[in-house]
A = this chain, B = another copy of it.
């Protein structure tokens, strides 16, 4: 059954309840524009009554020219003691000047009695009055039935009465919220079906959370049961375990369930949207996010990589390009010839599958991986290795040596690090020194100082990530240490790796590869 499903994004309101998620007003505006461009139907911008930043957003949002989306302000039903037109919180909702207002009300008698401390009857009046007041003030009103599923399980008659009250007030949509997020698929499906049957001709929505790890599943179950609006957040950000993840729900609705979504033509921009929102929320992206994560179409096992090279969809549930993602091959000690071939192609190196060099390269790679190098997240080191091995390409500079000194004096409460680096470029020897609080920073600085006179582009490079992994950590101080570095020049990002039983040496190797890769990039640009 194909339906037109509306997507209601609450990243900017419920999403900000998540640990570590916060947006600036300007960031919220940029996210709203991006959501509109993507084709989202409703964008909930905040709760005007809850903090001054949200009100500032609504002021700014009035200046936006949106293509399709409607902005919604979020709030609650009136207080028990006041008339709707006297309730300051409802007044603030009008002041937000949005075409849509979404208000939540209580479904569960436990909450009515113990949290609101009012009566079942008064709660129904609060719902109806509030919705009517907003509707009569010219707003499209969406009614969020808080704790609907818990409330329905406790007392189905009363739960339905709260929805009837909202409908009488003029709500254009009744959204059933699994506020505690603990419901199972079959429960949600059953209850949504009953509500849809009870309100023929009225649009029903679902708003789910991920507390049982089922946020996506229950949202989809809601649609299967007849809901025509889905609330959720980009990347599933939100309180506790997060909200229904729209980044997963939307491709499932479009690609797997054949539903009609306004954003369907932009689906290939889904990964973009996901990265953009993480960036705005200052949040590290989830590597293994379904559909959009870098691991979503990454193959590691020899068998799978091999088969994926033969018949792509044999190990991929959709074409990655449909959501703006791509197939990746992880080079690891499980991998054979075909994954190396795929990897080489991916990074733009031509390889002949039957060349004897390839066999030697595979042997070399196995040996390096045995010694602790890992190329899964170190494409740049892998490319340099391929170049050195297959093209006999020589490094741009010769490393003569380095020294690092770390000294600590308790009486001074101070640790200092000093590094010296000696390199030869052409006939010239550069011998430099740098100081920093840690040895990595000191080495990094000294190396750049030594290389920069010949390759000034090096100064654009910045270290953005630094990871240390102890392999075989049971060997204590003698264990092999793998260091992975991520660098950027503001345009590209690349990963390099080093391995040694000496942590400084491993770091040094990864730093050198990072610098060499930048020089390679620059020379490729000029070629």
Binding site for B on A (CB under 8 A): 17-20, 22, 24, 26-27, 50-51, 76, 110-111, 114-115, 147, 179-182, 184-186, 210-214, 216-217, 220-221, 224, 239-242, 245, 248-249, 252, 256-257, 282, 284, 287-291, 293-304, 307, 310-311, 313-318, 330, 332-334, 376-377, 398-411, 415, 417, 436-441, 444, 462-474, 476-479, 481, 500-505, 508
**A213 near B302 (CB under 8 angstroms)?**
no
**B110 near A314 (CB under 8 angstroms)?**
yes
Q: A217-B216, A288-B240, A404-B406 are in contact. Are A111 and B314 (CB under 8 A)?
A: yes
**A211 near B403 (CB under 8 angstroms)?**
no
Give, as a whole number of angstroms, the nearest-CB distance from A103 to chain B.
Answer: 13
Give, as a whole number of angstroms, the nearest-CB distance from A349 to chain B.
Answer: 22
The binding surface of chain A is classed by DSSP as mixed
**CA of A505 to CA of B415 in the docked complex: distance in angstroms?**
7
The residues of B that contact A479 with a CB separation of less than 8 Å are 466
> Which residue of chain B has its CB nearest to the CB of A218?
B217
Give, as a whole number of angstroms, the nearest-CB distance from A249 to chain B.
Answer: 8
The residues of B that contact A508 with a CB separation of less than 8 Å are 408
The residues of B that contact A307 with a CB separation of less than 8 Å are 111, 115
**CA of A296 to CA of B182 in the docked complex: distance in angstroms?**
11
**A240 near B295 (CB under 8 angstroms)?**
yes
**A185 near B221 (CB under 8 angstroms)?**
yes
The residues of B that contact A405 with a CB separation of less than 8 Å are 403-406
List 6 contacting pairs A-B, 8 Å CB cutoff, sorted by A. A17-B300, A18-B295, A111-B314, A211-B317, A438-B477, A444-B477
**B212 near A256 (CB under 8 angstroms)?**
yes
Q: A334 touches which one: B51, B295, B441, B470 (CB < 8 A)?
A: B51
The residues of B that contact A241 with a CB separation of less than 8 Å are 288-290, 293, 295-296
The residues of B that contact A467 with a CB separation of less than 8 Å are 470, 473
Give, as a whole number of angstroms, the nearest-CB distance from A470 to chain B.
Answer: 5
**CA of A22 to CA of B212 in the docked complex: distance in angstroms?**
27
**B439 near A462 (CB under 8 angstroms)?**
no
Choose among A179, A439, A502 the residue with the greatest number of B CB atoms under 10 Å from its CB: A502
The residues of B that contact A302 with a CB separation of less than 8 Å are 50
**CA of A302 to CA of B49 in the docked complex: distance in angstroms?**
12
**A409 near B404 (CB under 8 angstroms)?**
no
**A115 near B310 (CB under 8 angstroms)?**
yes
9 smallest CB-CB distances across A and B, nearest first, come from A182-B317, A463-B476, A217-B217, A213-B248, A441-B477, A438-B502, A468-B468, A213-B290, A401-B409
**A437 near B24 (CB under 8 angstroms)?**
no
> Which residue of chain B has its CB nearest to the CB of A182?
B317
**B252 near A24 (CB under 8 angstroms)?**
no
**B20 near A290 (CB under 8 angstroms)?**
no
Choose among A115, A217, A294, A402 the residue with the greatest number of B CB atoms under 10 Å from its CB: A217
> Which residue of chain B has its CB nearest to the CB of A295?
B19
